[in-house]
Chain A
């Protein structure tokens, strides 16, 4: 395709004319040209139309983004419920408000009548009823005892967690900022003195262990390899707020040597044994997924996969992403303070389809291989 210099000069003039950048005498000359040469007139009209369509396109794109931002904001504030149930603050509430007083009076009248009746009933009821009530109480106590012992058993499981976790040799980790800091599970590095990481395209880089927090089960690595070229900006953001039940999730990890995609959803807002630092998620995680990022459908990081339940298929636990912020805060205050800036600017993959989201994320998810210099028992 060859475009003549004159063509370009002509477009330039058309654009200047349309953008009002011409001088008055230029305009007069140009308008004369338009009148005399139909091709030029046609060019102006087409150019103008295309600019108009570009403007429309741009406005709509901006507005769409604005709508999505507002939607997310409102849903975070709780003004919008992400639910498939009909909310009760519609008509029925309006109706209720309207007839509140009447209902209140009716209810209180009803309440008084109920009290009077129950007083009468209890005064004439046979005394033998009391025994039954006690018995019932005991049964309740028994049930409670049972529940407690079940709870204890669960606690035992929790204590034995270390043994239940299958991963030891390696896991997954992901970038938390553009400077090459990677987060993973502390248990991935358990008993290891060093680590390296492998990217989705199978490049291996040296990494140093910056921090381990065995209680939160989180650790931070930093890619220390000179061959590593850091990325400009993370495509995702790390969420501080908590997610709701039923939210759609996906993860990338290394249960094998190749990066692997998996999806699921949040099934409980607490983890194993009511652990409020984690979510329970419905996703089949495998050994090697540990330390992997959990994304919501917009591609924001909302958690880190940590463990799974051995008995039940597909039940896994993910540490909530707000713990990353806490970890980083701790690190700032520690003996050897390290200041890590987390990626919190809006994710750039929000409205993309899953395939292109993954394409952008996969470069930020690594296989973590922990190794020991000395032999471990």
Chain B
């Protein structure tokens, strides 16, 4: 059994993108979810999918300042996976009432709601970026995602100087803003 301290440390590691911590959480929990999904009409790939989505939900939860986990990691992961899997089965019309409760669960409705909102935002951003087209997409990704400096970006894209690249980047940013908010506000 793991002590409270270790669990706290793992969550801290997760929040700080510590790959060792992520790996331990992954290793400790995947098998349980794999068994659960396979026992309930799913397969390995679906287990991987659902589990990783739960990991993302946990990851984004630990990063918020108001974060408190009132249960053990495995209980939380199981609860989220169970809820996500039920939803997916329902959407496929495969819902069965006989889903077994192997592990205890905690209420996670609010978290799921936040997670789904984030999913939607992520997808909107993904779509906005891909409809930007090149070189805008790569410029924006280079500066805002990969945090490259303008000098390096100018060099990689072949701009004669950083100022020109910067100018282009601002134009791209304006387009992205338009694309993103037009979708984002529909979703509200």
User: Which of chain A's residues 69-97 have a Cβ closer than 8 Å to chain B?
Assistant: 70-71, 73-74, 79-87, 89-91
Against A, the Cβ 8 Å flags (1 = close, 0 = not) of B164-188 are 0011001101101100110010000
Q: How far is the CB of A293 from chain B (nearest CB, A)?
A: 23
Give the docked Cα–Cα distance between A8 and B35 (Å). 55
Distance (Å) between the CB of A245 and the closest chain B CB? 13
- Determine whether the beta carbon of A56 is less than 8 Å from that of B176: no
Chain B nearest CB from A243 CB (Å) reads 14
Q: For window 39-95 of chain A, which residues contact chain B by CB distance below 8 Å?
A: 46-47, 50-51, 53-64, 66-68, 70-71, 73-74, 79-87, 89-91
Residue in B22, B43, B140, B171 whose CB lies within 8 Å of A67: B22
Beta-carbon contact of B60 and A70 below 8 Å: no
Q: Is A7 an interface residue (CB 8 A)?
A: yes
Which of A12, A50, A55, A56 meets B118, CB within 8 Å? A56
B56, A60: Cβ atoms closer than 8 Å:
yes
State which of B32, B38, B122 has its C-beta within 8 Å of the C-beta of A56: B122
Once the chains bind, are B38 and A86 in contact (CB under 8 Å)? yes
Tell me whether A67 and B55 are in contact (CB under 8 A).
Answer: yes
CB neighbours (8 Å) of B145 from chain A are 54, 57-58, 61
Report the separation of the CA atoms of residues A90 and B34 in the bound assembly, to the nearest whole angstrom: 11
Given A84-B43, A86-B35, CB of A71 within 8 Å of CB of B27: no
In the complex, residue of chain B having the shortest beta-carbon distance to the beta carbon of A88:
B35
CB within 8 Å of A: which B1-53 residues: 17, 19, 22-23, 26-27, 30-32, 34-35, 38-39, 43-44, 48, 52
**Interface on chain A toward B: helix, strand, loop, or mixed SS?**
helix
Residues in A neighbouring B176, C-beta threshold 8 A? 50
CB contact between A51 and one of B35, B38, B144, B181 (< 8 Å): that residue: B144
Given known pairs A12-B166, A67-B26, A74-B30, the reply for A54 and B17 (CB within 8 Å) is no
Q: Which of A7, A8, A70, A87 contacts B26 (CB 8 A)?
A: A70
Closest to A71 in B: B48
- B23's partner among A7, A73, A90 (CB-CB below 8 A) is A73
Say whether B59 contacts A63, CB under 8 Å: yes
Contacts of A11 in B (CB 8 A): 170, 173-174
User: B181 — nearest CB in chain A belongs to which residue?
Assistant: A46
Q: Chain B residues near A84 (CB, 8 Å)?
A: 38, 43-44
Count residues of chain B with CB under 8 A from any CB of chain A. Answer: 43
Chain B residues, CB < 8 A from A50: 173, 176-177, 180-181
CB <8 Å contact, B17 and A7: no
A51 to B181, CA, bound (A): 12
Candidate in A64, A68, A84 with the most chain B CB atoms within 10 angstroms: A84
Give the chain B neighbours of A81 by CB distance below 8 A.
34
Beta-carbon nearest neighbor of B123 in chain A = A57
Complex Cα distance, B38 from A55, in Å, reads 35
Decide yes or no: A70 and B174 within 8 Å by CB, A57-B145, A60-B60, A61-B145 being known contacts: no
Most buried by B among A57, A73, A84, A85: A57
- When A54-B144, A54-B145, A74-B23 are in contact, do A87 and B125 touch as well, CB less than 8 Å? no
Interface size band for A: 35 or more
> 1/0 per residue A279-294: CB within 8 Å of B?
0000000000000000
Q: Is the CB of B125 within 8 A of A57?
A: yes
> Does A3 belong to the interface (CB within 8 Å)?
yes
B126 at the interface (CB under 8 A from A): yes
| With contact pairs A80-B31, A90-B32 given, residues A46 and B121 touching in the complex (Cβ less than 8 Å) | no
Complex CA–CA separation, A269 to B43 (angstroms): 22
Which residue of the partner chain A has the closest CB to B23? Answer: A70
Other-chain residue from A53, A64, A80, A86 in contact with B30 (beta carbon distance below 8 A) = A80
Of all chain B residues, the one with the shortest Cβ separation from A77 is B27
Q: How far is the CA of A326 from the CA of B26 in the complex (A)?
A: 34
In the complex, what distance in Å separates the CA atom of A61 from the CA atom of B146? Answer: 11
B residues in contact with A12, CB < 8 Å:
166, 170
Interface residues of A in 13-52 (CB under 8 A from B): 15, 46-47, 50-51
Report Cα–Cα, A94/B144, bound state, in Å: 48
Q: Are A56 and B26 in contact (CB under 8 A)?
A: no
The residue in chain A whose Cβ has the minimal distance to the Cβ of B46 is: A84
CB distance from B180 to the nearest CB of A (A): 6
Given A63-B59, A86-B35, verify A3-B126 contact (CB < 8 Å).
Answer: no
Q: Is the CB of B118 within 8 A of A63?
A: no
Can you list 30 A-B pairs with a CB-CB distance of less than 8 A? A11-B173, A15-B170, A50-B173, A51-B144, A53-B121, A53-B184, A54-B140, A54-B144, A54-B145, A55-B144, A56-B121, A56-B122, A57-B129, A57-B145, A60-B60, A61-B145, A62-B17, A63-B55, A63-B59, A64-B52, A67-B22, A70-B19, A80-B27, A82-B44, A84-B43, A84-B44, A85-B38, A86-B38, A90-B32, A90-B35
Chain A residues in contact with chain B, CB under 8 A? 3, 7-8, 11-12, 15, 46-47, 50-51, 53-64, 66-68, 70-71, 73-74, 79-87, 89-91
Q: Which 5 A-B pairs have the closest CB atoms?
A: A58-B145, A57-B125, A54-B144, A11-B170, A8-B170
